[in-house]
Amino acid sequence: MKDVVIIGAGPIGIACALECKKKGWDYLVLDKGALTNSLFNYPLKMTFFSTSERLEIDNIPFMSTNPKPNRDEALEYYRRVVSNNDLTINLYEEVVYVKKQGLHFLIKTTKQDIQAKNVIVATGFYDIPKLLNVPGENLDKVAHYYKEAHPYSMQKVAVIGASNSSVDAALEIWRKGGDVTMIIRKNQIGERVKYWVRPDILNRIEEGSIKVFYNSEVTEIKEKEIIIKTPTGLKSINNDYVLALTGYQPNFEFLKNLGIQLQKDHHDIPVYNSETMESNVKGIYLAGVICGGKETHKWFIENSIIHAKLIANNLSKTLKEV
């Protein structure tokens, strides 16, 4: 019987594991992918908005050679936090379901059955893209994740969205020789785009290096073209690849299967106590960006690391420290 099972081996799951280890509890972290799987799937050259010290866990120093750390530095930092603290983590082991059995929980994974007194869900939101739901979205030319620019060199690429990921992709692909067109629902580049990147994309648009359709959306994707609904009517443009970087969302079905209630009138934010992070299901806690529901911009690594200590403080009332 485990004291705590933590679902998700991202930075917040790691922070929760550190708290459990300090308390001497019998815990286990499970993740269906690699360590910090979401960070691993970020673009290869991604730079964080935050400085390295704001991404630190438990005051363990995060040293970076850059003003803002990049993806590789973050992967190395969190890996060293895990290895240096000998945290107990099972990777590539997916949780199939969690069932409450009296006062305890049965966690069935792809490899075993585990019993636990408490469960912490720290699964993030990067696994499920928000779909366009248009004809042709299932074509091989369409991707909802961006890794690097080289494959799009000398290609006509449509980038859908106006967030950091969309802007980074558009700029990198253009610099590698891609013919880039951005399709944006609103009338401007997103206001949350990194402050040192936003002027760059605006200048490239103004000079015509990167084309853009504002107040527009893709209505159909074909093998060699896409159809765009614009303020002046439907337009067809030649196209080789589509990057639909329209955002991501938590696995709401998984939360509902746990019995966690979602606030439909408040962006599907799950129900939890902000002082303890315990959900409406006694013994199941939420940590990290998953707490924001569809408001995926609300929680980040730097402002949700505190969730680990809030949970540990509450669990200390029921679990004995060794």
Residues 120 and 177 in one domain: no
| Three-class DSSP labels, 202-269 | HHHHHCCCCEEECCCEEEEECCCEEEEEECCEEEEEECCEEEECCCEECCHHHHHHCCCCEEHHHCCE
**Region 256-274 average pLDDT:** 91
pLDDT at 287: 97
Same domain, 118 and 261: yes
Judgement on whether residues 37 and 182 belong to the same structural domain of the protein: no
Residue 28 above 90 pLDDT?
yes
The tally of domains found in the chain comes to: 2
pLDDT in tens, 285-310: 999 999 999 888 788 899 999 999 99
- Residue 321 located in a structural domain: no
Domain containing residue 137: CATH number: 3.50.50.60
pLDDT in tens, 88-110: 999 999 999 999 998 899 999 99
Q: Per the domain annotation, does 49 fall within a domain?
A: yes
Domain boundary among 191, 209, 244: 244
Share of the chain above pLDDT 70, in %: 99
Q: Give just the sign of the alpha carbon dihedral 240, 245, 246, 250.
A: positive
How confident is the model over 166-192, as a mean pLDDT?
96
- Name, in order, each residue with C-beta under 8 angstroms of 204's C-beta and a sequence gap of 6 or more: 170, 171, 174, 210
Last residue of a domain, one of 223, 244, 265: 244
pLDDT band at 320 (very low <50, low <70, confident <90, very high): low
Does residue 70 sit in the same domain as residue 171?
Answer: no
- Same domain, residue pair 45 and 8: yes
Q: Which of 184, 219, 244 is the last residue of a domain?
A: 244
| Shared-domain flag, residues 231 and 259 | no
The amino acid that residue 95 corresponds to is V
User: pLDDT value at position 61?
Assistant: 93
Closest C-alpha among 104, 47, 89, 52 to residue 70: 47
138 and 221, same domain (yes or no): yes
Within this chain, do residues 159 and 233 fall inside the same structural domain, yes or no? yes
Label residue 267 by pLDDT band (50, 70, 90). Answer: confident
Taking the CA atoms of 48, 52, 56 and 60 in sequence, report the sign of the dihedral they define. positive
Provide the pLDDT for residue 322: 46
Average pLDDT, stretch 192-202?
93
Q: What pLDDT does 321 receive?
A: 54
Phi, psi at 119, each rounded to 5°: -130, 135
Which residue matches tokens 């589509």? 242
Same domain, 38 and 95: yes
Q: Is residue 320 part of a domain?
A: no
Q: Are residues 118 and 260 in the same domain?
A: yes
Least confident of 79-88, 123-132, 218-227: 123-132
**Residue 295 within any structural domain of the chain:** yes
* pLDDT at residue 235 in the model: 97
Q: How far apart are CA 179 and CA 158, in angstroms?
A: 8
pLDDT given for residue 294 in this prediction = 86
Shared domain for 72 and 144, answered yes or no, is no
Domain interval for residue 260: 2-128+248-315
What is the C-alpha to C-alpha distance for residues 73 and 58, in angstroms, rounded to an integer?
18
The pTM is what? 0.91
Q: Are residues 252 and 240 in the same domain?
A: no
